[in-house]
Structure 1
Amino acid sequence: MSHTVTDAQRTWLPWLAAVGFFMQSLDGTILNTALPSMAKALGESPLQMQSVIIAYMLTVALLIPASGWLADRFGTRPVYLVAISLFTLGSLACAAANTLPMLVAARVLQGVGGALLMPIGRLAVLRVYDKRELLRVMSFVTIPGLLGPLLGPALGGWLVEVASWHWVFLINLPVGLLGFIASWHFMPDLRQATARFDWQGFVLFSLGMVLVSVGLQGLGEHSLSTGWALFALIVGLAAMASYWLYAAHAEQPLFSLALFKTTSFAIGVWGNLFARLGSGAMPFLTPLFLQLGLGFSPSKAGMAMIPTVLGAMLTKTLVNKLIPRIGYRRILIGNTLALGAVIASFYMIDNQLSYPLLLGWLALFGAINSLQFSAMNTLTLQDLSPEHASSGNGLLSVVMQLAMSLGVAIAASLLGLFSAGTVANQSQWLTGFHLTYLCVGLLSMLAALIFAQLPKDRAPSAN
């Protein structure tokens, strides 16, 4: 069992991890812009298209707990190659779907690949680079990954107008092929001794997570009867409570409760859960808002999203200077409140707002959101011991996906409520979007209460 990493692998590993970020971000942003056109082609309401997004996110969250064990048992290189292959095949299946149920099923296949793809690159980075280099390397990894959001919205809108929505999935095929070839040559094969996989914990944890999500979604959008939604919610909560009690005495639990003895990890995970309710809703909500609320064409809506990514990329270049100088506590409290305020401020955007000012508004959101992600993720992982790195990384990935899926479900439920279920009246759409942004922004601010629990002298280690 070798952990030797060559100079070439060490050099190219950040770029390989970025391939995973790129594929994920391109798929997510290109899809969001195309949702209204996809709904029209499939004969569905735009609000029903949230199932295409949530199916993927829940599949990823469901299977991520096994990703760390698979990487330790079979090696980061083979698992990463399988992940890219499944994600690419899932994209092909999505393009071939001609009904919403078929599309949702194909997104589940895509999610199986994504569940392995997302954490493995980050885990390899954690294993190869020491703590002093972690902030610098992780910031670098996310910059190439931001090319996906930069290209995705405009490319998605353009493809919908000049071709069809199928091409928002077919575009993943050449990216997946190039990623597979590069990973074959440069992804290090890192392995670690593994215990028997905790199937009992996996079933309890996954069952609880999925049923709670389904129950909340059913209550919010009435996709299930109230009785069945409450049943799913109660059973899910019982499964989560059972897992918590089980993990307290299990020898090798899926996610050890000892992780939460690391203060920065505990605060980071809970903060991620609430902060990402708003951040996770925005990629779904804003392209719909621009098209249904403001009447933009798909291509114009896609182009309008580009400043969000440019603002995020600009902030990434400043993270290494801001966090050591200001400290995690002040950054995360202040930035979380600012993030929620900016989301809520979309309440004031209407057709009277000038286009340049709208672009500036979106750029501001992107900058604040990017700083939030970088600070939260680095805080959460940096103090974990080597034996807890894999488990902690997996749990963080689960929480990220779960929070984003809940954010989409909450936003869609609020939008349906405030828009009175309309699909025709633009003024009702606009009112619905305004009230939804206001509520989602206020929800995001709750995370500031969690980050306030960080010690006042909390600061990152010197690089």
Structure 2
Amino acid sequence: MRDPHTYQGLAWVAAMALFMQSLDATILNTALPAISMDLHKPAFEMQMAIIAYSLAVALFIPLTAWAAAKFGTLTVFRCAVFTFVLGSVACAAAPNLESLILARIIQGIGGAFMMPIARLAIIQSVPKHQLLNAWNLMATAGLIGPILGPILGGWLVIHATWHWIFLINIPIGIVGIWAAGHVMDNIKGGEEKLDWTGFLLFALGLVGLTLGLDLLGETHQNPFLTYGSLMVGIGLLMIYVMYAKGNERAILPLSLFRTRTFTLSILANLFIRLSASGIPFLLPLMFQLSFGFSAEMSGWLLAPIALMSVIFKTVIGHILNKFGYKTTLISSALLMALGIMAMAWWDNQTALVRIVMNLMWYGACMSMIFTAVNTLAVGDLSPSQAGAGSTILSIVQQVGIGFGIAVSSIILNVYRQFFGNEGELLQHAFSYTFLTSSLFAIALICTLVRLHKTDGDHLRQTSKLSD
């Protein structure tokens, strides 16, 4: 075991990894119009550059525990950071959209391993009495990334080139690889046999489904490839369900869904993503292509979402303790839907104060609903189920981001074809997209109504809420 003085260093290494990952998840949004122009692709068809990263993270998260046990935490962490940086360099050098998507997949593979391995290293190495300080230090970096990402992305597009939104990962990654060698032990575990059959069925099924949804959002699509991908993806996922049913050694055991609150929380997570996760993708496009704002202005306008999310976390515990999980979640879902609907009445003459207030409202609702539903998801699982439950939750969160963006893109494409792509007609397309997206919140509320009034009571007051 390393010297106790290295515990803080280990937390800093994990913080650097989380900062890179959270920054990269948001920095691309404001730069998409500039990237699309350089790569000669319509800005409305750039969504796969974001989806590919989230999908890759979701696909490879289930392999992290197995890889750490087999190769050691330090080895896997360093390889993950190197892969992430390599993907960043490839993104900056991408000559076309297809190359950028491939590079984002490489980034996502690195990102899938970075944070789970860093968390595992902290759990294995840091004494219990110092664990909270390590978590807080790491979490702070994760909260700064989403605030800084849109602003930095917009600033770099205006004052440098879009390539720098990826190249800034190089020095951070190099420092992380070097520092990890000084503060992280290469701890291995009992090597477990990996369920490769289940992994391949699940991974290929998700790839097919996500690719099909993305292709549906494009103006010019190949029907055979589009619907073929959807059918193959759905078919493989159905086969996985049959394969995993009753199989406790499956990579993602279905027995977890016998826990009612876990099932409802996972379903709620998907509806939250469908109704709200496309918003950070749609807003920069609307601000720049419809309102005529600069990329830098678009970045500053997105910052209130993340800033309010951070600020609101300080009161979420008090609200849940006072009103309970069911009441809080249903109220938050309703307020979130109203916040998204309000965006449909914006135009290029709307006062910036009104836009900022609306985005702060949306950010607060998202912070509340995600914290509550994610805490409730794992609250009733047994200790032996907690690891698998946390993995499934992480996968659903990442896949949900991709699905939310893909569905938003499909809806926007339909309305663009109906209204048009210029001026006020384009603004109508965005407005109706926001209104349609808010309808998913109705399904969310119907899901949350099935919660019991007492669900989550054992998590109140003494619980440590998580995002």
* Alpha-carbon distance in structure 1 between the residues aligned to 2:443 and 2:15: 31
Give 2:160's match in structure 1, choosing from 156, 160, 163: 163
In 2 relative to 1, CA 79–448 (structure 1 residues): closer, same or farther, beyond 3 Å?
farther
Range that drifts further, 36-45 or 382-391: 382-391
Give, in angstroms, the shift of residue 457 of structure 1.
Answer: 0.9
CA distance in 1, matches of 2:413, 2:334: 26
Contact 2:320 2:460 in 1 (8 A): no
Aligned counterparts of 1:125 and 1:273: Cα–Cα separation in 2: 30
Match of residue 149 from structure 1: 146
Cross-structure match for 2:39: 42
1:207-286 matches, cutoff 5 A: 207-221=204-218, 224-286=221-283
2:50 corresponding residue in structure 1: 53
Q: Name the CA distance, whole Å, in 2 between partners of 1:335 and 1:98.
A: 43
Q: How does 1:55-454 map to 2 (within 5 A)?
A: 55-121=52-118, 141-187=138-184, 192-221=189-218, 224-420=221-417, 425-454=422-451
Residue aligned with 1:28, SS: helix
Shift of 1:52: 1.0
Corresponding residue for residue 20 of structure 2: 23
Residues 325-334 or 66-75, more deviating: 66-75
Separation in 1, partners of 2:420, 2:132: 45
Compute the displacement of 1:192 (Å): 4.4
> What is the TM-score with the length of structure 2 in the denominator?
0.89
Task: Report the number of matched residues.
Answer: 460
Q: Deviations over 1:210-232 (max 9, x none)?
A: 11222233334355433332222
- Could you tell me how far 1:357 is from its partner in structure 2? 1.7
Amino acid at match of 2:56: T
What is the TM-score normalised by the length of structure 1?
A: 0.90
CA positional deviation for 1:11:
5.2
Q: Deviations over 1:346-388 (max 9, x none)?
A: 1011122211221111111111111222222222234433433
Determine helix, strand or coil for the equivalent of 2:46.
helix
Please state how far the C-alpha of 1:17 moved relative to its aligned partner.
4.3
| In 2, Cα distance between equivalents of 1:128 and 1:326 | 38
Q: Which amino acid is 2:243 matched to?
A: Y
Residue range with higher mean Cα deviation, 124-133 or 208-217: 124-133
Measure, in 1, the Cα distance between the counterparts of 2:376 and 2:11: 19
Question: Structure 2 counterpart of 1:247, which letter?
Answer: A
* Ranges in structure 2 where 5+ consecutive residues have no aligned partner: 463-467
CA contact (8 A) 1:143 1:313 kept: no
Distance (whole Å) between structure 1 residues aligned to residue 403 and residue 163 of structure 2: 26
In 2, the alpha carbon distance for the partners of 1:135 and 1:374 equals 18
Matched AA of 2:80? A
Question: Which residue type is aligned with residue 88 of structure 2?
Answer: S
Distance in 2 (alpha carbons) for counterparts of 1:136 and 1:442 = 41
Displacement of 1:251 in angstroms is 4.7
Deviation string, structure 1 residues 258-311 (Cα, Å, up to 9, x no partner): 222333322222211111123321221111111112110111111111211221
Residue 345 and residue 420 in structure 1: after superposition, are their counterparts in 2 closer, same or farther (change >3 A)? same
Query: Which amino acid is 1:144 matched to?
Result: A
Alpha-carbon contact 1:58-1:210 (below 8 Å) kept: yes
What does residue 465 of structure 2 align with?
Answer: none
Partner AA of 2:345 in structure 1: M
> Is the alpha carbon distance of 1:393 and 1:86 closer, same or farther for their aligned partners in structure 2, counting shifts above 3 Å?
same
Query: What is the CA-CA distance between 1:169 and the residue it aligns to?
Result: 0.7
In 1, the alpha carbon distance for the partners of 2:134 and 2:309 equals 17
Name which of structure 1's ranges 11-20 and 291-300 shifts more when overlaid on structure 2: 11-20
